[in-house]
Structure 1
Amino acid sequence: MEFKSLVAVFILMLSLSCKGQNKVNHSPPNIVWIVSEDNSKHYLQLFDKNGIETPNIEALAKEGVQFNRAFSNAPVCSVARSTIISGCYAPRTGSQFHRRSKLVPMPDSLQMFPAYLREAGYYTVNNSKEDYNFIKSDNVWDESSSKGTWKNRKDNQPFFYVHNIGTTHESRVHFPESDIEDAPTAANVDDYTVQPTHPNTKLFRYTNARYRDKIAEMDGQLGEVVKALEADGQLENTFIFYYGDHGGVLPGSKGYLYETGLHVPMVVRIPENYRDMVDLKRESQTDRFVSFIDLAPTVLNLAGIEIPEQIDGKSFLGKGVDAEKLNEENVTYGYADRFDEKYDMVRSVRKGKYKYIRNFNPFNFDGLMNEYRYKQAAYGEWEEMYEEGKLNEVQSAFFKSRAPEMLFDVENDPYETTNLAIDSKFGTTLKEMRGLLNDWISGMPDLSFYPEFYLVENAFDNPVKFGRNHKGDIQDYITTANLMLEDATAVQAQLKELLRSSDPWQRYWALIVCSSFGDEVKALTPAIKKIAQNDVQGINRVRAAEFLGLTKVADPAPVMLEALYSAKYETEALLILNSVVLLNSHAYGYKFTIDQDRINPDFMGEKSEVLSRTQFLSAQTN
């Protein structure tokens, strides 16, 4: 018995030695990303019963791993892709605005991660969308174009190839309503449930089906890439990642921090020749949380490259990954700032089944005009039905001001319709989630506590350094912003002091807090009127006028328009116009007659977002 045991130990040691030797002798694997634009997990039957079949993606899952909890950190392409290419949270690096008003440098000595692959001997190819908010160096891609292919590499050279599929992009649902009759869908319009936040109309049912047609088309295109790898003899040498670049395009998804904007499909096919490199088995599923900040370190780890310390994410596949510890990962963070001409500032954290959303400008409403969003016919119908009083409470929420903080049980309430933050039974959970988010935004630190125009002029030459140097100030602004979570009466005296602060951004945040309270702090009106007339910062005069308009104390138009005409920076004008559009909306109805000739002509170029806003407002006036 003892001899048999010794033999067994010897065989086991020999086996382990052989496995270790195989790992050492591995040449680096190929890595391919196939990325579909603008679709959350909700459209694919593999992830959601309300989705359509995607046989090619399903085939990848059968030979790999299905990630049921994969998340973009931002619900729009440039910010999501900037997060991916850097492995860093965008509000820390100054890459959080879509579209960028100024490209920012990569943080410190960090490079876009494909540059490390090139240095290690990989052939790096992007076909073909980049859309980064960072300044790109020449050492990132060997090829980056619509003709890019791994086939141009040297013999036996490993490759990293990104294939972008635009078939599912938001623009694919910019169709005339006449298409409902003239362009029937392959998918049955009655096979898919309209989500509860939307009206169950013919147009919404058609849009649901039409988009699922695009998902099916995208799946076929993905299959062609896989076939090309197989024909080239590279399939079993290649890790294939499929994921959506952020959430979907149905109204209230792309551009918003709801699950439909962040929760993406992700599958990783594990090649036969590299099965020993990962801790997960083929044809398995995992609920471990992975975010876009984790993609760069994961690729570097699979390639055997040291992960730079400046990266915020962590590897979820490859050598050194602790499977048990990783399975405990259940937290992801999200951010939303400017989308084209529409400003907001929202942050989110999901832990397990709970999702916490922090609205830092809660008086804004989700449906505030964004020209590109409203090119989709369903958006227009949704708004029109709201104005006509044809929506229920859940469907109407999109056009109403929001609570400063919202808490959802996304497993039982997947479309985030019931705010548990107002339910005392969830007080402990609310406090925990609030703490997680505050620790994260202060730890980065989050640069968006300064207005974008100020960052462009003062921070964007080196955003990370600026954040380090101003971390204490940002923490103070966070503390001020969080006063809106307290009882208005209890913090009124403190707000009065902050309105007199010598720091303009303390005054800025104190004014936003006052607007969040509205009539509850009307006693501060005299102090706020003085700011509206005398503050040296035009944007503070606007924020003060915003309070006066929201509380119906005074017409905000004269102050706001004068600030607009004297704005020194384009993004300053754009932020002012955001408040103008809010107070011009159906909720408030103030009239703004804008003299475009008095706006700085440098802000009014053909594709200017300032021009877009003023044209919209002129149409409203007429």
Structure 2
Amino acid sequence: MILNRRRFLQMASGSLAAMMLPQGSLLARARRGSDRPNFLWISTEDISPDLGCYSDAYAVTPNVDRLAAEGVRYDNVFSHSGVCAPTRSGIITGMYPTTIGTHHMRCAGVPPHEVKCFPEYLRAAGYYCTNNSKTDYQFDPPLTAWDESNGSAHWRNRPKDKPFFAVINFTTTHESQIRNRSEAMLKRLASLSPTERHDPAKAQLPPYYPDTPEVRRDWAQYYDIITLMDKQVQQVLDDLEADGLADDTIVWFWGDHGRGLPRAKRWIYDSGLRVPLIVRVPPKWRKLAMPDQPQAVGPGTVNDDLIAFIDFAPTMLSLAGVEIPSHMQGRAFLGSRKAEPREYIFAARDRMDEAYDLIRAVRDKRFKYIRNYMWYVTRGQDIRYMNEMPTMQAMRRLHAEGKLVGPQKQYFEPIKPIEELYDTVSDPHEINNLVGDPAYAETLHRLRRVHEQWYRDTGDVGLIPEPIFDELKRPGGQYETASPPVVVKRTGGSADGSVVTMACATHGASIAYRIGGDPKGRTGWLLYARPVSLGSGETLYAKACRIGFRDSDLLTYRPGDPVAEAAGPKERDHWRDRLDASDVRQRLRTLKELDHKGADAMHSYLLYLEDAEPSVRYWAVVGLHAAGRLTADIAFARSAVKARLADASVVVRVAAAHAMCDWGTEGDGLPVLAAALKHPTDKARMLAIVALDKLGPKAQPALEQIRAAAEDPDDYVKRVALTVLSRFDGA
């Protein structure tokens, strides 16, 4: 593992919270705000590099194009996920979601103790940090992450002469707006001039889309809303100029993942991962950004280095002169701590809303390798939200009618290849799988090895079934609460307690404080990074915060109140520690290598059915079920799988029941699935309803239980149940 556990535990065990933040030169720099740049991030949602400055002749983006002419256009920038929440989780922490356990869409993560939102390091260095206003980090942002995070957050709210890091996020280009035909949207689109509107007839569609009026209209409106966003970008830049800050501010413009259309968003093809990034560096900061080659960030430059989203956090710290924490997995591409360019980027797809999948990818500048760990699942799974897109509806309709041709069929293939390999230079749409081509055998072998090494080095937890992982990270579904901070004795401090030093026993906790004001408010909290001075009669309020935990109770302190000797170490056993101490991940990886043996692996899977770890038993049953599709000789496996219907783990029972139903013994399997629909754990119910969905007409005897699931408190369980019912009702 690359996590520096020893160093962190040495600092955190009973230590001052301030010790967790970069010190030394950082504090000196914090006193000299004028010698540091401001930072402005302008982020937009769901767009690929479909901009004029990226040589897209269909695009109308004069303002972003102008920004690119004034700065650096990065041509090889990639998300680690094709959807917003896992993407933003990695950006804000500088770590892979598959390492910190925030990989499933809309999960509630409990990252390892050392993980923080990177703006906290900037705040400790004296920056005023604002976010307007999307978070979507797969955890609630702690009070210590931002000075402001709301729809009114702005650099203009900062104290005088304080450097700032401001994020402004536009939702104009979100997937939902491509299909938006409301009166309000039509009015916004009507505000575009005729030369700014995009003619559907002139659209150049990817080869995996059918050429229909619905698809062309979606494609044109996608470009229209990019043009609307382009105008918003210029307004922000105008505001920066009007405030006299343009010469002191490094501006980033980027998209959070690929375009919000089928086979792009949610997928880890380049259409879902590759994004625009433009960085404008004012002249006075170019040597700071590229000490050895300041002209490389001058106007109109282009950079083709591979850049990953997890590189954003360390790059920001590098530009601000802040030490990059050793646990961060990204590497800086600008600033005094700039690293060597990376050779590969990595990406993952796990549960997307109500659709389970497990895909990993590694890419160099030319080739993309994809490993489908759930190869037996079609790409064309139902996601109700995605199905609202007219393009998706057209694809499904034409597929049902047998009218899709060529690459258009790929999305609906009943199973996926175990491995995919694409030459992204000659095949940018990734439709020609080279895995079987002997000419690319060496490339396949190289990228396969790189993927396997990344799985090991980053501690990828994707093979732990979600219900098991949820219990591992948060036993009983119960949130932990951070210990309240305490005021501790300070060597050489004031006798009257007017200079306050605080500590917290919870590993990884930060402390938010305020002097006076409303102790219940969400805004106005400062980050504790050094001793606090209190005036006579002033009251200090403080809370401890840790990502994935509930905030602590409130500390209230006035000069002269009693102080503690120390915080007192509070040892907690984190899921990452427990997982790293076992070999379960490696056993799972070894088991999944049996995918390559097809039906010949069935006897090997049987050996894993008695494993002590339910995760291993689960994948053994799934492996038998999947391999059984490739052979008629399943009789010897049926009795072994049937025995797992009484397994101690609900995930194993569900997997076994699904297999038994597929193998023609619904009488054995359906009662188990129906019982699992009543399980207290939402993701266990999710697995059960997904299995019933995949059974098709065989699920009919469980219709009553499926109707009950349509009222489930978990939205994803409800969505799948409604999809199943819609099929029965339409039959």
Cα-to-partner distance string for 1:136-193 (whole Å, 9 max, x where unaligned): 2211111111111101112211000000000000110234699999989921112221
Code of the aligned partner of 2:231: G
The aligned counterpart of 1:303 is 320
Distance in structure 1 (CA, Å) of the matches to 2:389 and 2:408: 17
The aligned counterpart of 1:40 is 48
Within-5 A mapping of 1:514-529: 514-529=624-639
Distance in structure 1 (CA, Å) of the matches to 2:44 and 2:715: 28
The aligned counterpart of 2:392 is 379
SS of residue matched to 1:222: helix
Code of the aligned partner of 1:152: N
Deviation, structure 1 residue 555: 8.0
Distance in structure 2 (CA, Å) of the matches to 1:249 and 1:357: 21
Within-5 A mapping of 1:154-233: 154-175=159-180, 186-233=197-244
Structure 1 pair 598–568 and aligned structure 2 pair: CA distance change class (3 A): farther
Deviation, structure 1 residue 272: 1.8
Distance in structure 1 (CA, Å) of the matches to 2:84 and 2:242: 32
Deviation, structure 1 residue 522: 4.5
Structure 1 pair 232–556 and aligned structure 2 pair: CA distance change class (3 A): farther
The aligned counterpart of 1:445 is 459
Of 472, 497, 501, the residue aligned with 2:607 is 497
SS of residue matched to 2:279: strand
Structure 1 pair 125–208 and aligned structure 2 pair: CA distance change class (3 A): same
Cα-to-partner distance string for 1:313-362 (whole Å, 9 max, x where unaligned): 0100011325xx32xx2311111111221111111111221111111111
Code of the aligned partner of 1:413: D
The aligned counterpart of 1:610 is 717
SS of residue matched to 2:630: helix
Deviation, structure 1 residue 311: 0.6
Code of the aligned partner of 1:576: A
1:557–1:590: 8 Å Cα contact kept in structure 2?
Answer: no
Distance in structure 2 (CA, Å) of the matches to 1:554 and 1:595: 16
The aligned counterpart of 1:331 is 344
SS of residue matched to 1:581: helix
SS of residue matched to 2:378: coil
The aligned counterpart of 1:145 is 150
Code of the aligned partner of 1:314: R
The aligned counterpart of 1:12 is none
Distance in structure 2 (CA, Å) of the matches to 1:137 and 1:383: 42
2:101–2:111: 8 Å Cα contact kept in structure 1?
Answer: no
1:92–1:463: 8 Å Cα contact kept in structure 2?
Answer: no
Code of the aligned partner of 1:68: D
| Sequence identity (%) | 30
Code of the aligned partner of 1:281: V
The aligned counterpart of 1:281 is 297
SS of residue matched to 1:467: helix
1:94–1:463: 8 Å Cα contact kept in structure 2?
Answer: no
The aligned counterpart of 1:130 is 135
1:499–1:528: 8 Å Cα contact kept in structure 2?
Answer: no
1:246–1:254: 8 Å Cα contact kept in structure 2?
Answer: yes
1:278–1:319: 8 Å Cα contact kept in structure 2?
Answer: yes
Distance in structure 2 (CA, Å) of the matches to 1:458 and 1:239: 42
2:79–2:257: 8 Å Cα contact kept in structure 1?
Answer: yes
Identify the range of structure 1 (167-176 vs 330-339) with the bigger mean alpha-carbon deviation: 167-176
Distance in structure 2 (CA, Å) of the matches to 1:592 and 1:373: 29
Within-5 A mapping of 1:215-614: 215-279=226-290, 280-282=296-298, 283-321=300-338, 325-326=340-341, 329-400=342-413, 401-460=415-474, 462-470=574-582, 472-486=583-597, 488-489=599-600, 491-532=601-642, 533-548=645-660, 558=670, 561-584=673-696, 591=700, 593-596=702-705, 604-605=712-713, 608-614=715-721
Normalised TM-score (structure 2): 0.76
Code of the aligned partner of 1:381: A
Distance in structure 2 (CA, Å) of the matches to 1:193 and 1:212: 12
Structure 1 pair 378–348 and aligned structure 2 pair: CA distance change class (3 A): same
Structure 1 pair 344–592 and aligned structure 2 pair: CA distance change class (3 A): farther
Identify the range of structure 1 (278-287 vs 212-221) with the bigger mean alpha-carbon deviation: 278-287
Code of the aligned partner of 2:71: G
Structure 1 pair 525–428 and aligned structure 2 pair: CA distance change class (3 A): farther
Normalised TM-score (structure 1): 0.88
Structure 1 pair 170–500 and aligned structure 2 pair: CA distance change class (3 A): same
Code of the aligned partner of 1:53: V
The aligned counterpart of 2:95 is 88
Distance in structure 2 (CA, Å) of the matches to 1:164 and 1:203: 28
Code of the aligned partner of 1:163: I
Code of the aligned partner of 1:505: S
**1:621 pairs with 2:635:** no
* Matched residues, number: 585
Task: Please give the root-mean-square deviation of Cα atoms over the aligned residues, in Å.
Answer: 2.7
Identify the range of structure 1 (520-529 vs 241-250) with the bigger mean alpha-carbon deviation: 520-529
The aligned counterpart of 1:107 is 112
Code of the aligned partner of 2:161: N
Deviation, structure 1 residue 47: 2.2
Deviation, structure 1 residue 104: 2.6
Deviation, structure 1 residue 75: 1.0
Cα-to-partner distance string for 1:476-519 (whole Å, 9 max, x where unaligned): 10110121023542x34322212343432222112233344334
Structure 1 gap ranges (5+): 1-23
Structure with more helix by fraction? 1
1:110–1:308: 8 Å Cα contact kept in structure 2?
Answer: no
Structure 1 pair 256–466 and aligned structure 2 pair: CA distance change class (3 A): farther
Structure 1 pair 597–416 and aligned structure 2 pair: CA distance change class (3 A): closer
The aligned counterpart of 1:15 is none
Code of the aligned partner of 1:315: A
Cα-to-partner distance string for 1:516-543 (whole Å, 9 max, x where unaligned): 4334354344334442443333322332
1:333–1:350: 8 Å Cα contact kept in structure 2?
Answer: yes
